[in-house]
Amino acid sequence: MLKLRVLTAVIALGALLVVLFVLPPVITQLVFAALILAGAWEWSGFLQPEKAAVRLAYVGLIAALLAAASVGLANEFAVGVVLKIALAWWLIALFWVFVFPTPIPKLAGWICGVLVLIPAYLAIMSLYSLQPALLLFVLIIVWVADIGAYFTGKRFGKVKLAPKISPGKTWEGVFGGLLAVAVLALVRARWLEIDIVVLLPFCLAVAIISIVGDLTVSMFKRNAGVKDSGRLFPGHGGVLDRIDSVTAAAPLFALGIGWVGLR
């Protein structure tokens, strides 16, 4: 299984680099929009999976909001407001994952999906418009945190992080992931001559909120009684299984890059 996961990750990374640095911007935007719509289809499976009409209606809703978001990308103030709303949502989600299991009304599921997907799209496209390398950097933070957590948790993990949501995750894994991100921040700060006192806590905050994103999507999967959101990526699951951490990390990163001198 690990070999399959690694192979899929390598292929996906290659495709991502092409999307970020080779394809025309309009095609890149369409690719990211398509991924968000695929995520919307998977999210609709958390709501009423047995009703195709409901699922299609939810994808239609997200598509309409994506169209509006694409038009509003040029309005920095409006984008900032949406990203701040997203940050408030993820702080609520942080509390929610630690009191789960709790009933999740269908309307709340619809709204939460919007709060997960639309700000993520805005953040991704804003970062891409500024500089594709910035978008790649936030993705690297998420990947390093995830890889560090996986191997540290596998070797040393004992204390469960959120056993009712994701039994495999441990506090030891969290600290291992954060340590890996700290090393990444040190390398990045030295490379770009950025004050590490500023960059380090920022990168750690992005890594921490990425874990909240992971747990939140896992919470909705657990509530729906499914292990993976889909099967698009062999060994990795669906789109949401791959972007859950990014949906939380990207809005915070997009808001904070000006504070730390990356913009």
> In which domain, by residue range, is 27 found?
2-256
Q: How sure is the predictor about 209, in pLDDT bands with cuts at 50, 70 and 90?
A: very high
pLDDT at 4: 65
| Strand-pair category, 166-170 with 160-162 | antiparallel
Q: What is the arithmetic mean of pLDDT over 7-29?
A: 90
Is residue 123 situated within a structural domain? Answer: yes
Judge whether 37 and 66 are in contact, CB under 8 Å: yes
Residue 129 lies in a domain: yes
The answer to whether residue 261 is domain-embedded is no
- Does some domain include residue 6? yes
**By percentage, how much of the chain surpasses pLDDT 90?**
67
Would you say residue 182 has pLDDT above 60?
yes
Domain count, the chain: 1
**35-45: pLDDT as tens digits:** 999 999 999 98
What is the identity of the amino acid at 226?
V
**Residue 262 belongs to a domain:** no
Residue 248: closest CA among 196, 206, 186, 220: 206
Quick check: 50 pLDDT over 90? no
263 within some domain:
no
Q: How confident is the model at residue 229 (pLDDT cuts 50, 70, 90)?
A: low
> Could you identify the residue written with the tokens 């399959």?
4
8 Å CB contact between 171 and 161: yes
113 CB-near residues (< 8 Å, 6+ apart): 40, 43, 44, 46, 47, 58, 62
> Mean pLDDT across the stretch 10-39?
93
Is 29 part of any domain?
A: yes
For residues 146 and 94, the answer to whether their CB atoms sit within 8 Å is no
Q: Other C-beta atoms within 10 Å of 168: how many?
A: 13
Average pLDDT over residues 55-81: 92
User: For residue 203, is pLDDT > 60?
Assistant: yes
**No. of H helices and E strands in the chain?**
9, 2
Q: What angle do CA 149, 216, 3 make, to 5 degrees?
A: 40
Task: Please check the confidence at residue 191 and state whether its pLDDT lies above 90.
Answer: no
Model confidence at 232: pLDDT above 60: no
Q: Would the pLDDT of 2 be above 70?
A: no
Please state the rounded mean pLDDT for residues 1-12.
72
- How many CB atoms neighbour CB 125 within 10 A? 24
Report the DSSP beta bridge partners of residue 233: 237
pLDDT at site 260? 77
Range in 162-171, 178-187, 245-254 with the lowest mean pLDDT: 162-171
Q: What is the pLDDT confidence band of residue 8, given thresholds at 50, 70 and 90? A: confident
Query: Which contiguous run of DSSP H or E holds residue 63?
Result: helix 52-71
Average pLDDT over residues 139-161: 94
Name the more confident of 205 and 258. Answer: 205
CA 247/CA 237 separation, integer angstroms: 16
Q: Is residue 108 part of a domain?
A: yes
State the pLDDT at residue 30: 96
Geometric angle at alpha carbon 227, from 14 and 212, rounded to 5°:
70
Please report the pLDDT score of residue 263 as a whole number.
Answer: 66
Specify the higher pLDDT residue, 102 or 3: 102
Least confident of 8-17, 137-146, 153-162: 8-17
Query: Mapping DSSP to helix (H, G, I), strand (E, B) and coil, where does residue 163 land?
Result: coil
Q: How far apart are CA 168 and CA 99, in angstroms?
A: 18
Cα–Cα distance measured from residue 187 to residue 56, given in angstroms and rounded to the nearest whole number: 45
Is the pLDDT score of 230 beyond 80?
Answer: no
